[in-house]
Structure 1
Amino acid sequence: MATFDVVLEGAAHILETKGLHGFNTNAVARQAGVSIGSLYQYFPSKEALLVELIRRKRTALIEKMQDASSRLEASDLRTIADGLVRAGIAHWVERPELARSLEYAETTLDLGPETEALKRQIVVVVAKALAPHGVENPETAARDLAALTRGMADSSGPFGKADVSQLEQRVRRAVYGYLGISDSNPLTSVRR
Protein backbone atom coordinates (compact mmCIF):
# COMPACT_ATOMS: atom_id res chain seq x y z
CA MET A 1 0.00 0.00 0.00
CA ALA A 2 3.04 2.29 0.28
CA THR A 3 3.13 2.80 -3.51
CA PHE A 4 -0.57 3.76 -3.48
CA ASP A 5 0.09 6.51 -0.90
CA VAL A 6 3.29 7.68 -2.62
CA VAL A 7 1.43 8.06 -5.91
CA LEU A 8 -1.37 10.01 -4.23
CA GLU A 9 1.11 12.33 -2.53
CA GLY A 10 2.85 12.83 -5.88
CA ALA A 11 -0.50 13.67 -7.45
CA ALA A 12 -1.29 16.14 -4.67
CA HIS A 13 2.10 17.80 -5.14
CA ILE A 14 1.55 18.23 -8.88
CA LEU A 15 -1.88 19.80 -8.27
CA GLU A 16 -0.40 22.18 -5.70
CA THR A 17 2.51 23.29 -7.84
CA LYS A 18 1.24 23.02 -11.43
CA GLY A 19 -2.51 22.95 -11.06
CA LEU A 20 -4.83 20.92 -13.25
CA HIS A 21 -3.16 22.10 -16.46
CA GLY A 22 0.08 20.37 -15.43
CA PHE A 23 -1.62 17.29 -14.03
CA ASN A 24 -1.18 14.03 -15.94
CA THR A 25 -0.20 10.48 -15.09
CA ASN A 26 3.34 10.85 -16.46
CA ALA A 27 4.02 13.90 -14.27
CA VAL A 28 2.56 12.12 -11.24
CA ALA A 29 4.66 8.99 -11.84
CA ARG A 30 7.83 11.11 -12.16
CA GLN A 31 7.00 13.07 -9.01
CA ALA A 32 6.21 9.89 -7.08
CA GLY A 33 9.34 8.13 -8.35
CA VAL A 34 7.41 5.16 -9.69
CA SER A 35 7.02 3.68 -13.15
CA ILE A 36 3.94 4.54 -15.16
CA GLY A 37 3.05 0.84 -15.00
CA SER A 38 3.09 0.92 -11.19
CA LEU A 39 0.87 3.98 -11.21
CA TYR A 40 -1.60 2.30 -13.59
CA GLN A 41 -1.74 -0.72 -11.28
CA TYR A 42 -3.62 1.46 -8.80
CA PHE A 43 -5.04 4.25 -10.93
CA PRO A 44 -6.12 3.59 -14.53
CA SER A 45 -6.39 7.31 -15.33
CA LYS A 46 -5.73 10.79 -14.01
CA GLU A 47 -9.45 11.02 -13.25
CA ALA A 48 -9.12 8.01 -10.94
CA LEU A 49 -6.32 9.85 -9.09
CA LEU A 50 -8.48 12.96 -8.75
CA VAL A 51 -11.45 10.97 -7.48
CA GLU A 52 -9.34 9.31 -4.77
CA LEU A 53 -7.82 12.64 -3.70
CA ILE A 54 -11.31 14.17 -3.49
CA ARG A 55 -12.52 11.22 -1.40
CA ARG A 56 -9.61 11.56 1.00
CA LYS A 57 -9.97 15.33 1.33
CA ARG A 58 -13.69 15.05 2.02
CA THR A 59 -13.24 12.18 4.47
CA ALA A 60 -10.66 14.21 6.39
CA LEU A 61 -13.05 17.18 6.53
CA ILE A 62 -15.91 15.01 7.77
CA GLU A 63 -13.66 13.53 10.46
CA LYS A 64 -12.58 17.02 11.61
CA MET A 65 -16.18 18.23 11.72
CA GLN A 66 -17.33 15.12 13.62
CA ASP A 67 -14.48 15.50 16.08
CA ALA A 68 -15.26 19.18 16.71
CA SER A 69 -18.97 18.45 17.04
CA SER A 70 -18.40 15.55 19.46
CA ARG A 71 -15.96 17.48 21.65
CA LEU A 72 -18.33 20.45 21.87
CA GLU A 73 -21.63 18.59 22.12
CA ALA A 74 -22.57 20.01 25.53
CA SER A 75 -21.44 23.56 24.68
CA ASP A 76 -23.45 26.64 23.82
CA LEU A 77 -24.16 27.61 20.20
CA ARG A 78 -21.34 30.19 20.06
CA THR A 79 -18.74 27.63 21.18
CA ILE A 80 -20.06 25.05 18.73
CA ALA A 81 -20.00 27.61 15.90
CA ASP A 82 -16.42 28.56 16.82
CA GLY A 83 -15.31 24.92 16.84
CA LEU A 84 -16.94 24.10 13.52
CA VAL A 85 -15.51 27.23 11.88
CA ARG A 86 -12.06 26.43 13.27
CA ALA A 87 -12.28 22.86 11.94
CA GLY A 88 -13.42 24.00 8.50
CA ILE A 89 -10.76 26.68 8.17
CA ALA A 90 -8.03 24.39 9.51
CA HIS A 91 -8.97 21.84 6.88
CA TRP A 92 -8.84 24.41 4.09
CA VAL A 93 -5.53 26.00 5.10
CA GLU A 94 -3.70 22.68 5.35
CA ARG A 95 -3.28 22.59 1.59
CA PRO A 96 -5.24 25.44 -0.03
CA GLU A 97 -3.89 24.99 -3.58
CA LEU A 98 -4.78 21.31 -3.47
CA ALA A 99 -8.25 22.12 -2.14
CA ARG A 100 -8.84 24.67 -4.93
CA SER A 101 -7.67 22.28 -7.65
CA LEU A 102 -9.84 19.48 -6.31
CA GLU A 103 -12.90 21.75 -6.00
CA TYR A 104 -12.52 22.68 -9.66
CA ALA A 105 -11.76 19.12 -10.77
CA GLU A 106 -14.85 17.90 -8.99
CA THR A 107 -17.03 19.98 -11.30
CA THR A 108 -15.62 18.11 -14.30
CA LEU A 109 -15.84 14.59 -12.88
CA ASP A 110 -18.88 12.35 -12.76
CA LEU A 111 -18.97 11.56 -9.05
CA GLY A 112 -22.77 11.81 -8.92
CA PRO A 113 -24.22 9.95 -5.95
CA GLU A 114 -20.87 9.69 -4.17
CA THR A 115 -20.39 13.46 -4.14
CA GLU A 116 -23.91 14.00 -2.91
CA ALA A 117 -23.43 11.41 -0.15
CA LEU A 118 -20.21 13.04 1.04
CA LYS A 119 -21.75 16.53 0.99
CA ARG A 120 -24.76 15.16 2.83
CA GLN A 121 -22.51 13.75 5.57
CA ILE A 122 -21.06 17.21 6.20
CA VAL A 123 -24.55 18.72 6.37
CA VAL A 124 -25.71 15.99 8.76
CA VAL A 125 -22.79 16.58 11.14
CA VAL A 126 -23.30 20.35 11.22
CA ALA A 127 -27.10 20.14 11.40
CA LYS A 128 -26.87 17.69 14.31
CA ALA A 129 -24.64 20.16 16.16
CA LEU A 130 -27.01 23.08 15.48
CA ALA A 131 -30.38 21.38 16.12
CA PRO A 132 -30.27 21.27 19.95
CA HIS A 133 -29.78 25.03 20.02
CA GLY A 134 -33.04 26.01 18.38
CA VAL A 135 -31.56 26.83 14.98
CA GLU A 136 -34.46 27.05 12.58
CA ASN A 137 -34.20 24.48 9.79
CA PRO A 138 -30.77 23.14 10.83
CA GLU A 139 -30.16 21.28 7.55
CA THR A 140 -30.58 24.42 5.46
CA ALA A 141 -28.45 26.35 7.95
CA ALA A 142 -25.76 23.65 7.76
CA ARG A 143 -25.68 23.82 3.93
CA ASP A 144 -25.54 27.61 3.98
CA LEU A 145 -22.81 27.72 6.63
CA ALA A 146 -20.70 25.13 4.79
CA ALA A 147 -21.00 27.12 1.56
CA LEU A 148 -20.25 30.38 3.37
CA THR A 149 -17.13 28.98 5.03
CA ARG A 150 -15.85 27.29 1.88
CA GLY A 151 -16.56 30.38 -0.22
CA MET A 152 -14.83 32.81 2.12
CA ALA A 153 -11.82 30.53 2.56
CA ASP A 154 -11.51 29.85 -1.15
CA SER A 155 -11.86 33.50 -2.16
CA SER A 156 -9.07 34.60 0.17
CA GLY A 157 -6.48 32.48 -1.67
CA PRO A 158 -6.06 34.53 -4.87
CA PHE A 159 -5.05 37.54 -2.78
CA GLY A 160 -1.95 35.89 -1.33
CA LYS A 161 -1.37 33.65 1.65
CA ALA A 162 -4.34 34.00 3.96
CA ASP A 163 -3.80 35.15 7.52
CA VAL A 164 -5.55 32.21 9.16
CA SER A 165 -6.56 34.04 12.34
CA GLN A 166 -8.01 36.95 10.32
CA LEU A 167 -9.80 34.57 7.97
CA GLU A 168 -11.22 32.60 10.88
CA GLN A 169 -12.36 35.84 12.53
CA ARG A 170 -14.12 37.02 9.37
CA VAL A 171 -15.83 33.67 8.83
CA ARG A 172 -16.84 33.57 12.49
CA ARG A 173 -18.47 37.03 12.21
CA ALA A 174 -20.42 35.88 9.14
CA VAL A 175 -21.52 32.69 10.91
CA TYR A 176 -22.53 34.64 14.02
CA GLY A 177 -24.59 36.97 11.85
CA TYR A 178 -26.27 34.08 10.08
CA LEU A 179 -27.08 32.30 13.34
CA GLY A 180 -28.09 35.49 15.16
CA ILE A 181 -25.31 35.16 17.75
CA SER A 182 -24.17 38.48 19.14
CA ASP A 183 -20.45 39.10 18.95
CA SER A 184 -19.70 40.56 22.38
CA ASN A 185 -15.96 40.90 21.74
CA PRO A 186 -15.36 44.58 20.83
CA LEU A 187 -12.29 43.63 18.79
CA THR A 188 -14.32 41.43 16.47
CA SER A 189 -17.68 43.20 16.53
CA VAL A 190 -19.02 44.44 13.26
CA ARG A 191 -19.35 48.20 13.38
CA ARG A 192 -22.74 49.46 12.27
Structure 2
Amino acid sequence: MSTRIPPSPHQAEKEPPAMRKEPRQARSRATVEVIIRAGARVLGDRGFDGFTTNEAAEIAGVSIGSLYQYFPDKLSLIDAIRRRHLDDVLTVLRGTGQDNRSLKELAGELVDGMIAVHSIQPALHRVLLDEAPRYEGARSIHGLFEAEYMDRYKAIITAFGTRQSGATIDVAAQVLSSAVEGVIHNAVRRGMLKSQELRQELVHLICSYLR
Protein backbone atom coordinates (compact mmCIF):
# COMPACT_ATOMS: atom_id res chain seq x y z
CA MET A 1 0.00 0.00 0.00
CA SER A 2 1.29 3.48 -0.85
CA THR A 3 -0.23 6.86 -0.25
CA ARG A 4 0.45 10.53 0.35
CA ILE A 5 -0.26 12.15 3.72
CA PRO A 6 -2.37 15.33 3.34
CA PRO A 7 -1.13 18.61 4.89
CA SER A 8 -2.24 19.54 8.38
CA PRO A 9 -4.82 22.35 8.72
CA HIS A 10 -2.70 23.79 11.55
CA GLN A 11 0.47 24.16 9.48
CA ALA A 12 -0.28 27.72 8.37
CA GLU A 13 -1.22 28.95 11.84
CA LYS A 14 1.44 31.11 13.45
CA GLU A 15 1.75 33.25 16.56
CA PRO A 16 4.59 35.52 17.60
CA PRO A 17 7.21 33.93 19.86
CA ALA A 18 7.44 34.70 23.57
CA MET A 19 10.10 37.37 23.04
CA ARG A 20 10.49 40.95 24.18
CA LYS A 21 10.43 42.09 20.56
CA GLU A 22 10.17 40.20 17.30
CA PRO A 23 13.12 40.55 14.90
CA ARG A 24 12.00 41.99 11.57
CA GLN A 25 15.18 42.89 9.73
CA ALA A 26 17.62 40.30 8.41
CA ARG A 27 20.35 41.53 10.76
CA SER A 28 18.08 41.23 13.79
CA ARG A 29 16.95 37.75 12.78
CA ALA A 30 20.57 36.72 12.38
CA THR A 31 21.36 38.05 15.85
CA VAL A 32 18.47 36.09 17.37
CA GLU A 33 19.61 32.96 15.54
CA VAL A 34 23.13 33.31 16.94
CA ILE A 35 21.78 33.86 20.46
CA ILE A 36 19.53 30.78 20.27
CA ARG A 37 22.37 28.60 18.98
CA ALA A 38 24.72 29.88 21.68
CA GLY A 39 22.05 29.38 24.33
CA ALA A 40 21.50 25.80 23.16
CA ARG A 41 25.22 25.12 23.45
CA VAL A 42 25.42 26.54 26.97
CA LEU A 43 22.25 24.77 28.10
CA GLY A 44 23.53 21.42 26.82
CA ASP A 45 26.94 21.92 28.42
CA ARG A 46 25.87 23.42 31.77
CA GLY A 47 22.40 22.04 32.39
CA PHE A 48 19.52 24.16 33.63
CA ASP A 49 21.07 25.11 36.95
CA GLY A 50 24.33 26.21 35.33
CA PHE A 51 22.72 28.05 32.43
CA THR A 52 23.12 31.86 32.42
CA THR A 53 22.17 34.52 29.91
CA ASN A 54 25.56 36.15 30.49
CA GLU A 55 27.39 33.10 29.18
CA ALA A 56 24.94 32.71 26.30
CA ALA A 57 25.58 36.33 25.29
CA GLU A 58 29.34 35.83 25.58
CA ILE A 59 29.29 32.71 23.39
CA ALA A 60 27.04 34.49 20.90
CA GLY A 61 29.43 37.45 20.76
CA VAL A 62 26.74 39.98 21.70
CA SER A 63 26.25 42.22 24.70
CA ILE A 64 23.90 41.14 27.46
CA GLY A 65 21.83 44.20 26.60
CA SER A 66 21.41 42.94 23.04
CA LEU A 67 20.25 39.57 24.35
CA TYR A 68 17.72 41.21 26.65
CA GLN A 69 16.32 43.18 23.72
CA TYR A 70 14.81 39.91 22.53
CA PHE A 71 14.69 37.62 25.55
CA PRO A 72 13.53 39.17 28.84
CA ASP A 73 14.92 36.39 31.02
CA LYS A 74 16.57 33.00 31.14
CA LEU A 75 13.34 31.04 30.72
CA SER A 76 12.27 32.91 27.59
CA LEU A 77 15.56 32.03 25.89
CA ILE A 78 15.27 28.40 26.95
CA ASP A 79 11.74 28.35 25.56
CA ALA A 80 13.02 29.67 22.22
CA ILE A 81 15.55 26.81 22.22
CA ARG A 82 12.74 24.35 22.93
CA ARG A 83 10.57 25.85 20.18
CA ARG A 84 13.42 25.35 17.72
CA HIS A 85 13.41 21.66 18.61
CA LEU A 86 9.62 21.45 18.29
CA ASP A 87 9.85 23.06 14.85
CA ASP A 88 12.40 20.42 13.85
CA VAL A 89 10.01 17.68 15.00
CA LEU A 90 7.17 19.16 12.95
CA THR A 91 9.46 19.41 9.93
CA VAL A 92 10.02 15.65 10.17
CA LEU A 93 6.29 14.97 10.43
CA ARG A 94 5.48 17.35 7.56
CA GLY A 95 7.92 15.52 5.32
CA THR A 96 6.75 12.04 6.28
CA GLY A 97 4.42 10.43 3.78
CA GLN A 98 4.57 13.22 1.22
CA ASP A 99 5.67 10.74 -1.46
CA ASN A 100 3.97 7.48 -2.29
CA ARG A 101 5.53 5.10 0.20
CA SER A 102 4.73 1.71 1.62
CA LEU A 103 3.90 1.49 5.32
CA LYS A 104 7.34 0.07 6.12
CA GLU A 105 9.05 2.85 4.15
CA LEU A 106 6.97 5.51 5.90
CA ALA A 107 7.70 4.03 9.33
CA GLY A 108 11.43 3.98 8.54
CA GLU A 109 11.30 7.56 7.30
CA LEU A 110 9.53 8.69 10.46
CA VAL A 111 11.90 6.87 12.81
CA ASP A 112 15.02 8.02 10.97
CA GLY A 113 13.79 11.62 11.03
CA MET A 114 13.05 11.54 14.75
CA ILE A 115 16.40 9.94 15.52
CA ALA A 116 18.20 12.57 13.43
CA VAL A 117 16.42 15.47 15.17
CA HIS A 118 17.18 14.11 18.63
CA SER A 119 20.77 13.30 17.72
CA ILE A 120 21.50 17.03 17.47
CA GLN A 121 23.08 17.82 20.84
CA PRO A 122 21.68 14.86 22.82
CA ALA A 123 22.83 16.45 26.08
CA LEU A 124 20.66 19.47 25.29
CA HIS A 125 17.61 17.27 24.75
CA ARG A 126 18.17 15.55 28.08
CA VAL A 127 18.12 18.96 29.77
CA LEU A 128 14.97 20.02 27.90
CA LEU A 129 13.26 16.74 28.81
CA ASP A 130 14.22 16.46 32.47
CA GLU A 131 15.38 19.80 33.85
CA ALA A 132 14.16 22.93 32.11
CA PRO A 133 10.72 24.31 33.02
CA ARG A 134 8.50 25.84 30.38
CA TYR A 135 8.03 29.56 29.92
CA GLU A 136 4.58 30.49 31.20
CA GLY A 137 4.00 33.07 28.46
CA ALA A 138 4.23 30.54 25.61
CA ARG A 139 1.34 28.17 26.26
CA SER A 140 -0.54 29.14 23.09
CA ILE A 141 2.53 28.43 20.96
CA HIS A 142 2.93 24.98 22.51
CA GLY A 143 -0.79 24.45 21.98
CA LEU A 144 -0.35 25.10 18.26
CA PHE A 145 2.52 22.65 18.14
CA GLU A 146 0.48 19.97 19.90
CA ALA A 147 -2.47 20.49 17.55
CA GLU A 148 -0.42 20.05 14.39
CA TYR A 149 1.63 17.25 15.96
CA MET A 150 -1.50 15.20 16.61
CA ASP A 151 -2.98 16.09 13.21
CA ARG A 152 0.11 14.62 11.55
CA TYR A 153 -0.24 11.34 13.41
CA LYS A 154 -3.97 11.22 12.66
CA ALA A 155 -3.17 11.61 8.95
CA ILE A 156 -0.72 8.71 9.11
CA ILE A 157 -3.31 6.53 10.83
CA THR A 158 -6.01 7.53 8.34
CA ALA A 159 -3.75 6.72 5.40
CA PHE A 160 -2.32 3.44 6.67
CA GLY A 161 -4.44 2.19 9.53
CA THR A 162 -6.21 -1.09 8.88
CA ARG A 163 -6.62 -1.94 12.55
CA GLN A 164 -9.81 -3.49 13.88
CA SER A 165 -9.51 -2.45 17.54
CA GLY A 166 -12.38 0.01 17.35
CA ALA A 167 -10.37 2.86 18.90
CA THR A 168 -11.19 6.36 17.69
CA ILE A 169 -8.62 8.06 15.50
CA ASP A 170 -7.89 10.54 18.32
CA VAL A 171 -7.05 7.74 20.74
CA ALA A 172 -5.05 5.82 18.14
CA ALA A 173 -3.03 8.94 17.32
CA GLN A 174 -2.37 9.49 21.03
CA VAL A 175 -1.17 5.92 21.46
CA LEU A 176 1.06 5.91 18.37
CA SER A 177 2.61 9.33 19.01
CA SER A 178 3.23 8.47 22.67
CA ALA A 179 4.89 5.20 21.70
CA VAL A 180 7.25 6.85 19.20
CA GLU A 181 7.95 9.79 21.49
CA GLY A 182 8.53 7.59 24.51
CA VAL A 183 10.98 5.27 22.75
CA ILE A 184 12.94 8.16 21.23
CA HIS A 185 13.08 10.17 24.44
CA ASN A 186 14.19 7.20 26.51
CA ALA A 187 16.83 6.43 23.89
CA VAL A 188 18.10 9.99 24.34
CA ARG A 189 18.30 9.54 28.10
CA ARG A 190 20.11 6.22 27.79
CA GLY A 191 22.43 7.11 24.93
CA MET A 192 20.87 4.55 22.58
CA LEU A 193 19.89 6.69 19.59
CA LYS A 194 22.52 5.06 17.38
CA SER A 195 21.26 1.54 18.09
CA GLN A 196 20.17 -0.12 14.83
CA GLU A 197 18.30 -2.75 16.84
CA LEU A 198 16.26 -0.04 18.54
CA ARG A 199 15.51 1.56 15.17
CA GLN A 200 14.34 -1.74 13.70
CA GLU A 201 12.14 -2.51 16.69
CA LEU A 202 10.50 0.92 16.58
CA VAL A 203 9.80 0.55 12.85
CA HIS A 204 8.32 -2.88 13.58
CA LEU A 205 6.19 -1.42 16.40
CA ILE A 206 4.73 1.26 14.11
CA CYS A 207 4.00 -1.20 11.31
CA SER A 208 2.45 -3.75 13.66
CA TYR A 209 0.22 -1.16 15.30
CA LEU A 210 -1.05 0.28 12.03
CA ARG A 211 -1.67 -3.15 10.54
With the length of structure 1 as denominator, give the TM-score of the two structures: 0.80
User: How far did 1:157 drift?
Assistant: 3.2
What letter corresponds to residue 91 of structure 1 in structure 2? V
Structure 2 equivalent of residue 124 of structure 1: 151
Structure 1 equivalent of residue 4 of structure 2: none
2:81 matches 1:53: yes
Q: Match for 1:79 among 105, 124, 132? A: 105
Q: Distance in 2 between matches of 1:81 and 1:138?
A: 18
Superimposed CA distance per residue, residues 65-118 of structure 1 (whole angstroms, 9 cap, x where no aligned partner): 1112213xx333232222222222221122322222223466543232321220
What letter corresponds to residue 151 of structure 2 in structure 1? V
- Distance change (3 Å), C-alpha of 1:49 and 1:65: same
Percent identity over the alignment is 27
Q: Distance in 2 between matches of 1:151 and 1:134?
A: 21
Q: Distance in 1 between matches of 2:36 and 2:64?
A: 13
Q: Match for 1:38 among 63, 66, 79? A: 66
Structure 2 equivalent of residue 100 of structure 1: 126
What letter corresponds to residue 84 of structure 1 in structure 2? L
- Where do 5+ consecutive residues of structure 2 fail to align? 1-28
CA RMSD between the two structures: 2.2
Greater shift in the superposed pair: 116-125 or 78-87: 78-87
Structure 1 equivalent of residue 210 of structure 2: 179
What letter corresponds to residue 79 of structure 1 in structure 2? E
Native 8 Å contact 1:16 1:101 kept in 2: yes
Q: Distance in 2 between matches of 1:25 and 1:163?
A: 32
- Structure with the higher helix share, 1 or 2: 1
Q: Match for 1:2 among 30, 45, 48? A: 30
User: How far did 1:146 drift?
Assistant: 2.2
Superimposed CA distance per residue, residues 28-48 of structure 1 (whole angstroms, 9 cap, x where no aligned partner): 112222211111111111111
Structure 2 equivalent of residue 133 of structure 1: 160
Structure 1 equivalent of residue 47 of structure 2: 19
What letter corresponds to residue 77 of structure 1 in structure 2? L
- Distance change (3 Å), C-alpha of 1:28 and 1:156: same
With the length of structure 2 as denominator, give the TM-score of the two structures: 0.74
Q: Distance in 2 between matches of 1:83 and 1:127?
A: 17
Q: Distance in 1 between matches of 2:156 and 2:93?
A: 10
What letter corresponds to residue 65 of structure 1 in structure 2? L
- Distance change (3 Å), C-alpha of 1:140 and 1:76: farther
Greater relative contact order (CA < 8 Å, ≥ 6 in sequence): 2
- Where do 5+ consecutive residues of structure 1 fail to align? 181-192
